Amino acid sequence: MLSAIMNRRSIRNYKNLQVPKHMIEEILQSGILAPSSKNRQPWRFLVVTGNAKDEALAVMKKGISREKEHPLLPESAQYLSGSENTLRIMEKAPVIIFIVNSIGIDIHSSLKPEERIYEICNAQSIGAAIENMILTATELGLGSLWICDTYFAYKELCDYLKADGELLAALALGYADETPPSRPRKSMDDVVEWRN
């Protein structure tokens, strides 16, 4: 597993090759096996390929266009061009997995402190599931990209996917058509504090 951690890269170019279903299932199973807060297992995975992927991405494109006129995230407008680039990356990947917090609270809701804690715990749990999936993809020789730009088309994608819960992220999968170098990481001295 350490080699998968060291070799994992965020892949933005994919070969025009289909991913066998058994590999997708193995990746999904690794997500299902992730630890979760209070064993709530708050995840739901919606796998789109082929025409279903094209339809979902067309919906995302409409959402990004709407975001320019009527933003859900007005203070993030500087990242809209990045979301358009992400959409182009998603178009190249043969598989997109939308990840939903199946017990999530609507993002427009005001949260009581306890509800906010539950949402934080659910996000941590789903993050563990996504990381398991990414590392499994790496071990299987696939590339992946963890995507959060779906929030720029949040309403449109939630309506289209008809998923019970709140859309949290997406994961692009496919055979990598690039070998990006590793990106710099902070050192232990930068991020670890030892207390005795």
The one-letter amino acid code at 47 reads: V
Backbone angles phi, psi at 38, to 5 degrees: 55, 25
How do residues 136-154 score in pLDDT, each as one tens digit? Answer: 999 999 999 999 999 999 9
Backbone angles phi, psi at 165, to 5 degrees: 120, -165
DSSP 183: P
- Nearest Cα neighbor of 170 from 116, 126, 111, 125 is 126
Residue whose token pair is 């055979």: 175
Instruction: Give the pLDDT of the chain (196 residues) as one tens digit per residue.
Output: 789 999 999 999 999 999 999 999 999 999 999 999 999 999 999 999 999 999 999 999 999 999 999 999 999 999 999 999 999 999 999 999 999 999 998 888 999 999 999 999 999 999 999 999 999 999 999 999 999 999 999 999 999 999 888 999 999 999 999 999 999 999 999 999 999 9
How do residues 156-178 score in pLDDT, each as one tens digit? Answer: 999 999 988 899 999 999 999 99
Beta bridge partners of 147: 170
| pTM for this model (two decimals) | 0.95
Q: How many Cβ atoms from other residues are within 10 Å of residue 89's Cβ?
A: 17
Contact 56, 160 (CB under 8 A): yes
Dist CA 127 CA 132 (whole Å): 9
Q: How many Cβ atoms from other residues are within 10 Å of residue 88's Cβ?
A: 10
